[in-house]
Structure 1
Amino acid sequence: MASSGCTFEDRSVAVLCCRFCRQVLSSRGMRAVLLADTDTDLYSTDIPPSGTVDFIGSCYFTEICKCKLKNIACLKCGNVVGYHVICPCKPCLLSCNNGHLWMFHSQAVIGINRLDPSGAWMASRGPQAAGQGTLFFFGCERVALGQLARFGGKHR
């Protein structure tokens, strides 16, 4: 889906949390810029959030392009946190994009860059934290067991 010549490999991956209730919404967020309005900052993900958001309201179209969208809300607190691109329009599909169709408003989520077990920032093509042992949540931060000492956490 992404156009050739576009690079997204060096973008960092973030855990996305609802700004209103701190519920983790996605562990594969990436900073994004709206194709139709480059002044709009967003987060996006390529994997549908499971059990954390649901659709709310009716489908709609933007004035700038013809993408079909539907808002998504946090299941814990009910606040709208973004939208899903149900059907991208042809110009958006042909422009430089990363194939992410789940968009989160930067004012509705908190993005926390993920770290790999060595403590290095994890890029989008780097190792996946899910396969690297037990993960714990500290507020809205997701850290691997090996990183607990750096955060002063205790294993329970």
Structure 2
Amino acid sequence: MPVKDALFNNSEEKIYSLVCKECRNPLVKYSLKSCLLTDYSVNFYSTNVISEKISTVNGFYKAFTCKCRVTDMGCINCGTIIGYHIMQPCIKCLSSKNNGHLWMFYEKLVYAFDNTKEFKKSEKLDNKCKNELEIER
């Protein structure tokens, strides 16, 4: 899935790259600031751009605040649990306004750096490539 399709296509939204606070390992290049759907005061970073720098760990379990099935997610370098992956969203969360992201990073366990400019450059390049492909057809 192209990155721009996986993230909100909102020009006002900042895009963040994330780094593990424990070992400084880069985790993902593109994520958004998010909040818990059942408690808007709980902040996260989220993405649907899967990274080889993270791995699911332990088994799945029911989320504490809803009926989603989730699994912990850890940094592949140091093993620190840095968030969770929503394996099966519940009906309540699916019916709530959400960004569709299933990879959630705990705000306190990652460093976030504004990566909006790089994202927009890659989006322009992606659009240019699509236009060139359409011309070739």
TM-score by length of 1: 0.69
Cα distance in structure 1, aligned partners of 2:108 and 2:102: 18
Aligned pairs for 1:5-84 (under 5 A) are: 9=10, 10-49=12-51, 51-84=52-85
Give the 3 Å change call, closer, same or farther, for CA 8–129 of structure 1 in structure 2: closer
Give the 3 Å change call, closer, same or farther, for CA 41–47 of structure 1 in structure 2: same
Structure 1 or 2: larger helix share? 2
Can you give the 5+ residue segments of structure 1 that lack an aligned partner in the other structure? Answer: 1-6, 133-156
Match of 2:122 among 111, 125, 128: 128
Q: Which residue of 1 aligns with 2:110?
A: 109
Cα distance in structure 1, aligned partners of 2:64 and 2:116: 38
Cα distance in structure 2, aligned partners of 1:26 and 1:110: 11
Cα distance in structure 2, aligned partners of 1:47 and 1:103: 11
Cα distance in structure 2, aligned partners of 1:8 and 1:34: 20
Per the alignment, in what secondary structure is the counterpart of residue 71 of structure 1? strand
Q: How many positions carry a matched residue from both structures?
A: 118
- % identity of equivalent residues: 30
The one-letter amino acid paired with 2:122 is: Q
Per the alignment, in what secondary structure is the counterpart of residue 59 of structure 2? coil
Q: How far is the alpha carbon of 1:63 from its aligned partner?
A: 3.2
Q: Which runs of 4+ in 1 moved over 4 A?
A: 129-132
Per the alignment, in what secondary structure is the counterpart of residue 103 of structure 1? strand
TM-score by length of 2: 0.78
Per the alignment, in what secondary structure is the counterpart of residue 107 of structure 1? helix
Q: Is the 8 A contact 2:14 2:116 kept in 1?
A: no
CA shift digits 1:101-122 (9 cap, x unpaired): 00000011011001526xxxx6
Per the alignment, in what secondary structure is the counterpart of residue 128 of structure 1? helix
Can you give the 5+ residue segments of structure 2 that lack an aligned partner in the other structure? Answer: 1-7, 127-137
